[in-house]
Structure 1
Amino acid sequence: MMYEKHTRKKPLALIADDDLSLRLSMKAALKKFDFDVLEAENGRQALTLFNAEKPDFILLDVIMPEMDGFEVCAAIRKSLHGRYPQILMVTGLDDVDSTARAFEVGANDFVSKPINWVMLGHRARYMLRAGYAFRELYMSQSRLAKTQELAKLGNWQIDLKSLEFHCSSEASRLLRLDTGKAPVSLDDFLAPIMGHEKDKVRKEMDDAVKARKNMSVSYSVLYPDGTQKHILNQGEILFNENGMPEMMLGVVQDVSQLKRAEEEIIHLAFYDGLTGLANRMLFLDRLDMAIKDATRNNQKFALLFLDLDRFKRINDTLGHHMGDLLLKQVAEKMQACIRCTDLATRGAMDSSEPTISRLAGDEFTIILSNIRSPESAAVVARRLIKEISTEYDLDGQEVSVSASIGISVFPNDGQTADILLRNADSAMYNAKNSGKNQFQFYIESLNIVATERFSLERDLARAIDRDEFVLYFQPQIDLATRKIVGAEALIRWMHPQKGMVPPDKFIHVAEESGLIIEINKWVLLKACSQSNEWVKDGFPALSIAVNLSGYKFAHQNIVESIRDVLQVTRLDPGNIEVEITETILMQETEETIETLKQIKDLGVRIALDDFGTGYSSLSYLTTFPVDVIKIDRSFVIGSTMHKNNRIIIKAIIAMGHSLGKKILAEGIETEEQFELLKEYGCDEAQGYYFKAPVPATEFTRLLKKGAL
């Protein structure tokens, strides 16, 4: 029936009327206008003929036996092929109710008796043409809807005067919008867009209207079931006769498959197919970027060139398949090793990821951005050698392999990609020639420094077992009475050959090697034990401040360490104060806040050390659970000479007191500084003016004096 107007030579009409004379007159009128005609004398016969012949035009009398015209019309419209035929109902001249009902049951038009036979043929031809047009329009809409469905495409429009929004059912289905409750609004339309991209899309639409230009923007949407899709949204402005923007029309399309294809193409172009690491092309691009960033920010970075020792022998002996398996396993070890060690080698605020790449064969490179010092690169190189130098199971075949690494450092060892790569390669060959399974810097002097650094790390690992650490204590004074109210516990290392090693010489080594966690535990235990000793000796309970390393603070299990020490020593938690710096607060904020809250739950106080030297000190006071603010010594030392220092100190004290925090000044060295801080209302202080850090035995003698 869909295309019968093209297959029939003449249109087919069905006349249904119980009056034979009327049927003959109707038939004659339609024949003159080139219709083929079928006749039915009652409603049921008319319905049977319709289902069998599927006519294009139907003339129905309202009053007929067995089924009246209304019933026949309603039945036709409900049938499979009843959508398109044109139905003309015949009613009485003054039968208004019948006319209204005719339209309700699906009639296209009506004609009143007596009938104008000449006009009947014209009306039939006109209705037939309208029916064909309606059918073609519906089919066109159906094809468009199906095409949009197949193309995952929908359309939308905004009236720029009334701001009314409308989107097609295809667009609603594509974005999985709920259209059952109310019309879809622009907010509904944008709701599935992920995160900050929503504001970007709104801005793109606004900018397109203001600039009178087309719009094209892509973004991600998140469906309620967690599925994520990529959408391309394109819009065009329509203007009225005065050239003013009148409407914005647009289409949305699901381009997720295209996006995945693009990502796969990019991956094939820039990543090694065997190991999944960056390939040579991507490595060179990242190396150029590292050079530009380091030059702009006055930073250093290291390039590590790694080559497997005796890999060719494994390849030749066991075959290339086994060699490929080995390369994949080595690449996995490298990635795991870099993830574990890289954070210790770079600045706290550096968030760039190291680039690990496979250049060719068994050659790999690693870019370590913004390193603290060349020795930091040596830390990574040493651990890589340790992790890689092990046995590998290659389909049941056990093989061993080691690695040699060359290191070049920007800018000392070169300021272009070619020179840095060549020098790292040269250093790697020096490592191979020196016995393999080791690393070498391009500059020999750095090898000496690295050797000394690892000698220090080796001795540091033995220091706890050999009881080489000691705690010194610096008194904290109540400024109003000059009485000792607390002490800061400070670690010292009594090296058997080098003598006393200050913290600034070994703490960073302990952090990079992971030994800092054990050292923090030792400091906590010794400080709490000593506090207990003083209480047992009859001295008033003191607040002992423990300055813990902030290295990976939220991952040190600090809370568990404090809890264990408190259980062992039975010390009142209120007598322990954990000092943190603003550097700690800048790390992984949510995890850090949670760790600090758990420390507070134990009853331990928290002090913010070096206050005023960080990036956003004020926000920390309301965000983090801090009890004590320690004014950094840099402000105190210059307070008598610089007016701005005094202004800052007064502001810190006033602000801290308004928030209910205790204020302690560090680094007081003169009588004048002491009087100034006292005048400003500072609560407590410490510094060489009162006493330098001293061993526990000497601190006991200070406690006997009571005041300084």
Structure 2
Amino acid sequence: MSKKIWLKFVLATIVLTFIFLNTMDYQSTKKSLKTKIEEETINMLNSFIAEVDRFSSRRMGNVKLLADYIPYIVDDENEVIDFLRKQHEVMDYFSALGFITPEGKIVADDGSILVVKEKESLHRALNGEIVISDVFSLAQNPDIKVSSIVSPVRNENNKIIGVVSGLINIQDVIQDMNDSFKLPGSVYFIKNQEVIYSYPTKNKITELSFSHAEYIHKIEEERYGTIHLNSSGHLLKYGQTETGWTVIADSLGNPKIQDIKWSFWRMIWMNALILLVGFLLYRFVSTIMRQADDRLKKDFLTGLPNRLQLHEDIESLSFGWEKDHIAVYFIRLDRFRELIEQFGYQLGDQMLLRTSSLLEDYEKGSRVYRVDYELFIFAIECDTERNAIESGEGLVQWLDHEIVVEEDAKMNLTVSVGGILIDQEIHREVLENGAFACQESSRKGGNQFTLYDEELSIRNKKHRQLVRCLSTALERQEFYMVYQPIYSISEQRIVGFESLIRWNSPDLGEISPFQFIPILETDEAIVDTGRWIMHTVANQANEWSQAGFKNFTINVNVSVKQLHHESFLHDVYSMLEETRIHPSLLIFEVTESVIVEKIDSVVQILEKLNAIGIKTAIDDFGTGYSSLASLTALPFQYLKIDKAFIDDVERREAGAEAILKGIIDIAKALHQTTVMEGVETEEQLKLLKTFGAERIQGYFISKPLRVEDAVKMIDKKYTW
């Protein structure tokens, strides 16, 4: 998954998570508000029903009291009118008071003489009931809708001689309740499927909301229940009073419904804001990542495109040149690592900057990349092989320049160039051929150009086959060990062996270690192989020791990369534990190149090896890295001197004898046992005796031997 896709996925997940949480918060708020709306609507409904029932009960009691007094004055109509008028002044909650005769004549408190309209309630009252009538218009003011509370009037013989009527206006009741309560909605009173009274509006059903009309019949039939009109808290709660009124509580006026709407829009705006922030964040992070990618695709020191950019250009075929062919040149600075080891990394930076500048100026329209520490790639359009060769040779000359190494000291910097002519269908495998051509130029001594041709192609194929077979050699158990004897001059016997790895490939046959060991050292394979060598040698030493052989050691070569690997000491401890070998049987050899590579950590590692009983040796001393003074820096017990010194002595090079004897004397002074490598003749042995050499190794004693032959040499005596 690319970083861009990963970024989209992460941001989308974050944005959707926030939107989900925001939406869930809205849903939770909405649910809570709807619950409160329903609770408040129920409370409103119950409050109104209870209040109407209380009001009706009190008014019916008031009317009955009036009915109890009327018999005493019934014969005097004026006195009845005066009584009713005075009572109305006290009972102002009645719209009007009146006495109704059995014939339906009404004597009102204002002196009016009227005729009964609601005869049903009159007849029921004349039959002994206290009745609340249906709604009708007040005769004195037809705009006012009232209902009559009618109570029978009985004389002393308990005979009903008429009825007392008190007219009530339910709207006044609602108004009184509103003065006492903050109504969270609207209330409607229904009688006979008609909205008679409502609050806060006094209008009929047309003002209520016509869509509710279809529910009125259902409401009056069910008497009690709930109707949810939408999902935003709008609902109708309904119930009936004891006097037969249907009361509907409508939550539409509840401010919490508006809160739900605001919550909804707030959720919409918040989600829109989250999306906007997510989009802006994506654009911002994309820009940062693009800038970071651009920086990653450029070499920090020279500013040139690096290997990542090269691979991207290859994959996207973004060269876009007009000509059909491209000449690609691999350019490696000669002796670069050696120079920085001698003069420091500042000189290395100076060489790299100067080379990159020269390459950029070499020819317009070219592409330049720095793909490795001292390796550049130069690509340019090219028509013919001849032009490719001319450009390659021109690069060698162009990049041959003088640099200042120390104060006034100057030297020429040269390069090895390998080139390949290809069409624009470029791919990595083809580029590897150019790298192989560059290696060929370096192998020939540098400061030259090599064009990849048929001959190199054959060699390259063999090299690739070698690498391919080598990658499985350890797994397929194709490696084996040989042992070269080490002779002690003073003891005149074989005192040990140097273990050396060999490879017998089923496909390629016996392969020289000079061919495959450098390949192993290019990657982690040398660590795995080194681990196998340690175990194999330790097991062999154990086998010889258990067979009764004494007084011998076996040297194990440890590569610099293996020594610096984080698992090295752990591998050593594991080897000792698993094989149960006595550490004194092993001597670890490292090349003198360790002196210039992380010397502090090397000292710590060697000291730990010495502490557990494994002695150490510096191998190939004198091949160019170390000095005599450096011998004191590292805790070695053995000094293996390169055969080049004895060769110089035999060639009678000036000072050769003094140098060799001096090295031997210094090693003795440091209590280091010297081992002279590459001794091939008896004359060399005799000469080394005179110099004070202690041990020798070479073909004069024996070539490297297989196990079955090496075991015969243990402790063998020689007198030369």
Superposition TM-score, scaled by structure 2 size: 0.43
Larger radius of gyration: 2
In the superposition, the TM-score normalised over structure 1's length comes to 0.44
